[in-house]
Structure 1
Amino acid sequence: MKEKVLITGANGFIGSHLTEACLQKGFEVHAAVRKNSSMELFRSLVTPADSLKIVYPVYADREELADLFKRERYTYIVHNAGITKTRQQETYNHINAELTKNLGAAVVNAGIDLRRFVLISSLAALGPVSYAGQGDRPRPVTGYGRSKLLAETYLRAIKGLPVTVIRPTAVYGPGEKDLLIVFRLLAGGWDLSMGRKPQKLSFVYVQDLVSAILLAMKEQPGNWASFDISDGAMYERYALSDAFVRSSRVKTRRLHVPTQLVKALALLNEGLSSVSGRYPALNGDKVKELTAENWYCDITPARIGLGYDPQFSLDKGMDETVRWYRAHKWL
């Protein structure tokens, strides 16, 4: 009998890649999505299989979740669903933390033999450090990061739940939409850089992240483990745009935009969003992330504890990303 895995947020960027990888590994995959949510990206990345089932959990209802778990007897749960942009901290906390707690509590209430509950958190839950590498962690600087840290705290308090937390840094690859905004500007010849202060950045190609998640599904000593995930390198502030230029062979003009001007634009965007009803990609929290001095990510524990071995440098991953964007006419 095939091992069964529930993947929440399966129709998103990371979830779609993970679903495809799990199917290739021979798992029976239950892809948890919201009703009426877009499946466009999912269909472009996932090969249909007899061992794939779409499910619609009600995350706010612990009893219904427990009934689902009793019925399906999942071997693994990978909780990848969440929200990355919203105006209210309360909304972040409800969706990213409270509903995560519901899932964990429902597993325990159902009494199933779950081998691992893998939470896809974020390096944002730890926050940045200074350029010199100094600073206490966790110290999240955004509402999203605070909600992810709260989700980790909730899960750690649930007795008997075997949890592994994966905290990826900035993830890129086929199907990613936030960085696509930057890539389209670059493809149009504009390399916009916020301010001039030096930065240290980290990235991870989506397939390396998926590999880390698959490794995290294995049983760990004890009921709690956490790992930060990147490609293992540290990059200066222009590395991402330079890699895109090398891969796409476009010519760009670098323009440094004053940070205060970007902050003002972000505030304007947030104000306009109250009319449009859609929270903008460029907002105050995003500016905090983009201007942070150092997104240091130590993957030594993941190498040792998981056997994680990233295969994609920034250039190699960018080549794959640009190729996919162009093939699907996103660029």
Structure 2
Amino acid sequence: MEKKVLVTGASGFIGSFLVEGGLERGMQVWAGVRKSSSRKYLQDSRISFAELDFTDSDRLEEQLKQHKLEHGGWDYIIHCAGVTKCRDKADFEIGNYWATRHFIETLMRLEMLPEQFIYISSLSIFGPIREKDYSPICEQDTPCPNTAYGVSKLHSEEYLQKLKDFPYVIFRPTGVYGPREKDYFLMVESISRHVDFAAGFRRQDITFVYVKDLVQAVYRAIDKKVVRRAYFVSDGYVYNSRTFSDLIQKELGNPWLIRFTCPLALLKVISFFAENIARLFHKSSTLNLDKYKIMKQRNWQCDITPLEKELGYRAEYPLERGVKEIIAWYKKEKWL
């Protein structure tokens, strides 16, 4: 009998790949979407859809109640829904922590708890630590987030971990990139226009994970039936701040480049004004004070040893292979 998995946030970048990962493994996949969500990358006829409104707890309860009546529950839930950009910092707490909490409380009330509840968190919950010796962040470290996004993800993790016997699995990916992703694409687009930008002059160690490797890690956790565990996810390598842009430049055919390194003090001022100007127009800005703090952070190393030992994870996409694939996709889709 096919196992049923719900992927929330299925219309998003990571969510759409998680849906594909479930289909590839022969599962019955339900894509959790809003009524207004784009289904551009959810065209496979095998996908079932569940409309879920995380902004309205009463509406969400009605939707889940109706789903249980018609289809039953799910064996696994991968909770990828959330917010990464907000006009108001308080919206991170609402969209990430409170929405997750209401969802779980509703599942418990309706007796719809799955065998595993997989939560996609972030390395950002740890903030700028281990920056003196540049050693990997590990699970014994104390989280110290310095962004509203990181704080909201940490609050969600703490809530999950306090629930007695709750079958959570938490994944804390570093920077996730791949086809369909728009933030890293801004760098690709800039380099294609002959401009490269770096933040700060001090050493910066960066880590990445290709989206398909994150998907691999999630489904390995399902296969291994682990519960009440949290894992960092990266490709296992550490890169300097220039590696990503150098690989992009190479795949684009080595266009000539003007490279700018912005002092962090100046970047903070620019971020402040960008955030507040966007707020005046009731918009969210890609460059803001939270983004500044992310660019300022010097150490993004993380220890994936538990992921490798417990789940048998091995990244299939080191950065060079991943960049090659995304540039080919951007060209194919005429983003470039």
Is 1:98 the counterpart of 2:127? The answer is no
Q: Secondary structure at the match of 2:160?
A: helix
2:44 to 39, 42, 48: 48
The residue that corresponds to 2:22 in the other structure is: 22
CA contact (8 A) 1:107 1:161 kept: no
Q: Deviations over 1:40-87 (max 9, x none)?
A: 3x2xxx4512x3112211332364365256343201000001001124
Give ranges in structure 1 of 5+ residues lacking alignment. Answer: none
Q: Deviations over 1:93-128 (max 9, x none)?
A: 111011111222223223346211000000011223
Shift of 1:276: 2.1
CA contact (8 A) 2:196 2:245 kept: yes
Counterparts of 1:305-316 in structure 2 under 5 Å? 305-316=310-321
What letter is aligned with 1:151? S
CA contact (8 A) 1:171 1:205 kept: yes
The alignment's TM-score, normalised by the length of structure 2, stands at: 0.91
1:67 to 65, 68, 71: 65
Q: 1:309 to 1:69 in 2, by over 3 A?
A: farther
The residue that corresponds to 2:248 in the other structure is: 244
CA contact (8 A) 1:104 1:158 kept: no
Is 1:303 the counterpart of 2:301? The answer is no
Using the alignment, how far apart are the partners of 1:218 and 1:98 within structure 2? 29
Is 1:57 the counterpart of 2:52? The answer is yes
What letter is aligned with 1:263? K
Q: Secondary structure at the match of 1:132?
A: coil
CA contact (8 A) 2:51 2:63 kept: no
Using the alignment, how far apart are the partners of 1:260 and 1:133 within structure 2? 22
The residue that corresponds to 1:4 in the other structure is: 4
Q: 1:89 to 1:113 in 2, by over 3 A?
A: closer
The residue that corresponds to 1:159 in the other structure is: 164
What letter is aligned with 1:56? E
CA contact (8 A) 2:206 2:240 kept: yes
What letter is aligned with 1:103? F
Counterparts of 1:176-215 in structure 2 under 5 Å? 176-215=181-220
Is 1:234 the counterpart of 2:230? The answer is no
What letter is aligned with 2:325? E
What letter is aligned with 1:150? H
The alignment's TM-score, normalised by the length of structure 1, stands at: 0.93
Using the alignment, how far apart are the partners of 2:81 and 2:284 within structure 1? 18
Q: Deviations over 1:168-214 (max 9, x none)?
A: 00011100001111111011111111221111110001110110111
The residue that corresponds to 1:128 in the other structure is: 128
Greater Cα offset, 155-164 or 196-205: 155-164
What letter is aligned with 1:48? D
Give the % identical residues.
35
The residue that corresponds to 2:76 in the other structure is: 76
What letter is aligned with 1:18? L
CA contact (8 A) 1:273 1:279 kept: yes
Q: Secondary structure at the match of 1:322?
A: helix
Q: Secondary structure at the match of 2:250?
A: helix
Q: Deviations over 1:255-288 (max 9, x none)?
A: 2122222211111111111232211011001011
Is 1:89 the counterpart of 2:89? The answer is yes
- How many residues are paired up? 325
2:269 to 253, 264, 282: 264
What letter is aligned with 2:125? A
Give ranges in structure 2 of 5+ residues lacking alignment. Answer: none
Using the alignment, how far apart are the partners of 2:143 and 2:66 within structure 1? 34
CA contact (8 A) 1:104 1:161 kept: no
Cα RMSD after superposing both structures: 1.8
Using the alignment, how far apart are the partners of 2:249 and 2:98 within structure 1? 41
Shift of 1:38: 2.8
Q: Secondary structure at the match of 1:218?
A: helix
Using the alignment, how far apart are the partners of 2:225 and 2:259 within structure 1? 46
What letter is aligned with 1:295? W
